[in-house]
Structure 1
């Protein structure tokens, strides 16, 4: 897919009520941009799953997050970059849950890191201010590696009038 090009939405009728329509990518992207909390799923070296909440910023058609180099998620991603990020509305009868599949790739270029840092501060406030040093974030908690996940596949689960949409990139 080329930058700025939108993926095609495919409705899965097996998990959708009669008459449901696929969710527009523009709505899903807006939810990915505005969500406050995301859940990252990675795989431990022994194959067991690891899930943790984190903050994320949508920038340049990817979700970006940071983590300390010794944290479990960073160690998992060093061995296997494939991951899933989820976000949504924690209610059964309303909202849109999103599942983003892709590979978490390190972001180390100064210009890109400064843009992600500015995105964190704009979205989450001044307490999430990061300096950029030596290919990573530097903040009160120490050094933080930055990763970007460009979606390969995204699933959208609409609740209320239930539907499942898949977008492939």
Structure 2
């Protein structure tokens, strides 16, 4: 994880996650083992990304911007629950070695496209504007300090 602008780091993570999901989609009917490996990396990575945002970035942005109640981070958290529900639906198909997850995948992609665009165009640049260099370094350290188990218990409505 680089320690440059939040917007750059998180957009690069979006791109990395998109590539993993594309590999899953391309391989699920050809090489299920390869598809499963890509999906597991995608799911774990997306859950980590969400935890980083909800546990570290969003609280700092809310504190510095004064927009905790009803602001954009509340919308992002709601969308994270929807993303988590889609992830779990696809995960159940992967566990059953059932490649018929196209509908769940499309729902996930539809949510992610809109969600990521809002983050990349509005929220991340705003975070970069309201934090100091010292706060940025503290945010990156806080992200590194989150235990791995925290990512594994994210993100659908049935999870904390």
Q: Normalised by the shorter chain, which TM-score bucket?
A: under 0.3
Tell me the TM-score normalized by structure 2. Answer: 0.25
Tell me the TM-score normalized by structure 1. Answer: 0.24
Higher share of residues assigned helix: 2
